[in-house]
Amino acid sequence: MAILDKQRTDHMNKAATTVQRFTRGFLARKNYVRIQQAALYLQCAARARAARNVAQGLRRQKAALTIQVGYGVCDTHAHTHRHWRAVAVSCPACQQWW
C-alpha cells in the first residue's frame, strides 16, 4: 500500500509541477509583453518631445532672425543704415532731418 501511495504522490507532484511551469511561463510572457509595450510608449513619447523641442527651436530662431532684420541688427542692414546716416549728417542740406 505504501508503494501505491508513493507512486500517487509522485504522479500528483509531477502534475502540479507541470501546471506551475505552464502558469509561470504564461505569466512571464504576459509580463514581458506589458513591459515591452510600456518601453515602446516611453520611447515614442521621448522622440515626440525631442521633435517638438527641435521644431520650437527652429521657430524661435526664425522669429529672432525676423526681429533682427526688422530692427536692422543684421550686419548688412545695419551697415547700410549707418552708412546713409553718416552721408546725411555730413551733408548740410540733410542735417535738418537727422
pLDDT tens column, 24-72: 999 999 999 999 999 999 999 999 999 999 999 999 999 988 888 877 6
Per-residue burial over 46-59, b = 16 or more CB atoms within 10 Å of its CB, e = otherwise: eeeeeeeeeeeeee
> The whole model's pTM is what?
0.52
Average pLDDT, the chain: 84
The ranges assigned to domains in the chain are 2-72
Name the percent of the chain lying above pLDDT 90: 61
Which range (12-21, 30-39, 53-62, 79-88) has the least confidence?
Answer: 79-88
Residue that has been written with the C-alpha cell 509583453 in this structure: 33
For the chain, the C-alpha Rg in angstroms (whole number) is: 40
**Amino acid 81: pLDDT:** 57
Beta strands in 1-98 (DSSP E): none
Q: What angle do CA 72, 68, 78 make, to 5 degrees?
A: 25
Q: What integer is the mean pLDDT of 63-91? A: 65
Rounded distance between C-alpha atoms, residue 98 and residue 91, angstroms:
10
